[in-house]
Structure 1
Protein backbone atom coordinates (compact mmCIF):
# COMPACT_ATOMS: atom_id res chain seq x y z
CA UNK A 1 0.00 0.00 0.00
CA UNK A 2 1.48 3.31 -1.04
CA UNK A 3 1.59 6.40 1.16
CA UNK A 4 -1.14 8.10 -0.91
CA UNK A 5 -3.42 5.09 -0.44
CA UNK A 6 -2.88 5.26 3.32
CA UNK A 7 -3.65 8.98 3.40
CA UNK A 8 -6.78 8.53 1.28
CA UNK A 9 -8.05 5.75 3.53
CA UNK A 10 -7.47 7.88 6.63
CA UNK A 11 -9.36 10.84 5.13
CA UNK A 12 -12.26 8.80 3.76
CA UNK A 13 -15.47 9.90 5.43
CA UNK A 14 -13.97 13.18 6.62
CA UNK A 15 -14.35 15.20 3.43
CA UNK A 16 -15.62 18.34 5.17
CA UNK A 17 -12.66 18.42 7.56
CA UNK A 18 -10.28 17.72 4.70
CA UNK A 19 -11.79 20.58 2.72
CA UNK A 20 -11.45 22.96 5.67
CA UNK A 21 -7.79 21.98 6.05
CA UNK A 22 -7.11 22.57 2.38
CA UNK A 23 -8.75 26.00 2.54
CA UNK A 24 -6.95 26.95 5.73
CA UNK A 25 -3.54 25.91 4.41
CA UNK A 26 -4.09 27.77 1.14
CA UNK A 27 -5.13 30.90 3.04
CA UNK A 28 -2.00 30.64 5.19
CA UNK A 29 0.24 30.42 2.12
CA UNK A 30 -1.56 33.39 0.56
CA UNK A 31 -1.06 35.41 3.75
CA UNK A 32 2.63 34.52 4.00
CA UNK A 33 3.30 35.37 0.35
CA UNK A 34 0.97 38.40 0.39
CA UNK A 35 -1.09 36.89 -2.43
CA UNK A 36 1.83 36.80 -4.85
CA UNK A 37 1.15 33.17 -5.80
CA UNK A 38 -2.63 33.15 -5.44
CA UNK A 39 -3.22 31.49 -8.84
CA UNK A 40 -0.77 28.69 -8.13
CA UNK A 41 -2.17 28.18 -4.63
CA UNK A 42 -5.72 27.95 -5.99
CA UNK A 43 -4.61 25.39 -8.57
CA UNK A 44 -2.88 23.34 -5.87
CA UNK A 45 -6.00 23.48 -3.69
CA UNK A 46 -8.16 22.23 -6.56
CA UNK A 47 -5.77 19.36 -7.25
CA UNK A 48 -5.72 18.40 -3.57
CA UNK A 49 -9.52 18.42 -3.47
CA UNK A 50 -9.61 16.17 -6.54
CA UNK A 51 -7.08 13.84 -4.95
CA UNK A 52 -8.60 13.67 -1.46
CA UNK A 53 -12.32 14.09 -2.14
CA UNK A 54 -13.05 17.57 -0.81
CA UNK A 55 -15.79 19.58 -2.54
CA UNK A 56 -14.72 23.17 -1.97
CA UNK A 57 -16.92 26.11 -1.07
CA UNK A 58 -17.35 27.41 -4.61
CA UNK A 59 -17.52 24.04 -6.37
CA UNK A 60 -20.80 22.22 -6.91
CA UNK A 61 -20.96 18.67 -5.54
CA UNK A 62 -20.10 16.02 -8.09
CA UNK A 63 -22.65 13.24 -8.70
Structure 2
Protein backbone atom coordinates (compact mmCIF):
# COMPACT_ATOMS: atom_id res chain seq x y z
CA UNK A 1 0.00 0.00 0.00
CA UNK A 2 1.45 3.36 -1.04
CA UNK A 3 1.66 6.42 1.18
CA UNK A 4 -1.20 8.02 -0.77
CA UNK A 5 -3.40 4.96 -0.25
CA UNK A 6 -2.61 5.02 3.47
CA UNK A 7 -3.46 8.73 3.65
CA UNK A 8 -6.78 8.19 1.87
CA UNK A 9 -7.61 5.30 4.20
CA UNK A 10 -6.81 7.45 7.25
CA UNK A 11 -8.97 10.30 5.96
CA UNK A 12 -11.89 7.95 5.29
CA UNK A 13 -11.66 6.50 8.80
CA UNK A 14 -11.26 9.86 10.57
CA UNK A 15 -13.46 12.15 8.50
CA UNK A 16 -14.87 14.15 11.40
CA UNK A 17 -11.40 14.94 12.76
CA UNK A 18 -10.14 15.87 9.28
CA UNK A 19 -13.09 18.25 8.80
CA UNK A 20 -12.39 19.85 12.18
CA UNK A 21 -8.70 20.25 11.33
CA UNK A 22 -9.55 21.87 7.99
CA UNK A 23 -11.89 24.28 9.77
CA UNK A 24 -9.14 25.26 12.23
CA UNK A 25 -6.61 25.74 9.42
CA UNK A 26 -9.10 27.97 7.60
CA UNK A 27 -9.62 30.04 10.76
CA UNK A 28 -5.86 30.42 11.24
CA UNK A 29 -5.36 31.57 7.66
CA UNK A 30 -8.28 33.97 7.99
CA UNK A 31 -6.80 35.43 11.18
CA UNK A 32 -3.36 35.82 9.62
CA UNK A 33 -4.76 37.60 6.58
CA UNK A 34 -6.90 39.88 8.72
CA UNK A 35 -10.13 38.54 7.22
CA UNK A 36 -9.19 39.95 3.81
CA UNK A 37 -9.82 36.63 2.03
CA UNK A 38 -12.53 35.23 4.32
CA UNK A 39 -14.93 34.33 1.53
CA UNK A 40 -12.30 32.57 -0.60
CA UNK A 41 -10.92 30.71 2.43
CA UNK A 42 -14.42 29.59 3.41
CA UNK A 43 -15.07 28.24 -0.08
CA UNK A 44 -11.72 26.42 -0.10
CA UNK A 45 -12.35 24.85 3.31
CA UNK A 46 -15.86 23.78 2.29
CA UNK A 47 -14.54 22.19 -0.91
CA UNK A 48 -11.71 20.41 0.92
CA UNK A 49 -14.20 19.06 3.48
CA UNK A 50 -16.51 17.90 0.73
CA UNK A 51 -13.67 15.94 -0.86
CA UNK A 52 -12.41 14.21 2.29
CA UNK A 53 -13.72 10.73 1.81
CA UNK A 54 -16.90 8.73 1.89
CA UNK A 55 -19.47 9.62 4.52
CA UNK A 56 -18.38 13.23 4.84
CA UNK A 57 -19.75 14.99 7.92
CA UNK A 58 -20.75 18.17 6.07
CA UNK A 59 -23.14 18.54 3.10
Range into which the TM-score falls when normalised by the shorter chain: 0.7 to 0.9
Name the residue aligned to 1:20.
20
Unmatched 5+ stretches in structure 2? none
- Number of residues paired by the alignment? 56
Q: Are 1:55 and 2:57 an aligned pair?
A: yes
**Counterparts of 2:37 and 2:7, CA distance in 1:** 26
Deviations 1:4-23 (A, max 9, x none): x5432221121111011011
User: Which whole-Å CA distance do the structure 2 matches of 1:18 and 1:34 have between them?
Assistant: 24
| Runs of 5+ unmatched residues, structure 1 | none
Higher relative contact order (CA 8 A, sep 6+): 2
Higher share in helix: 2
Question: Who is 2:11 aligned against?
Answer: 11
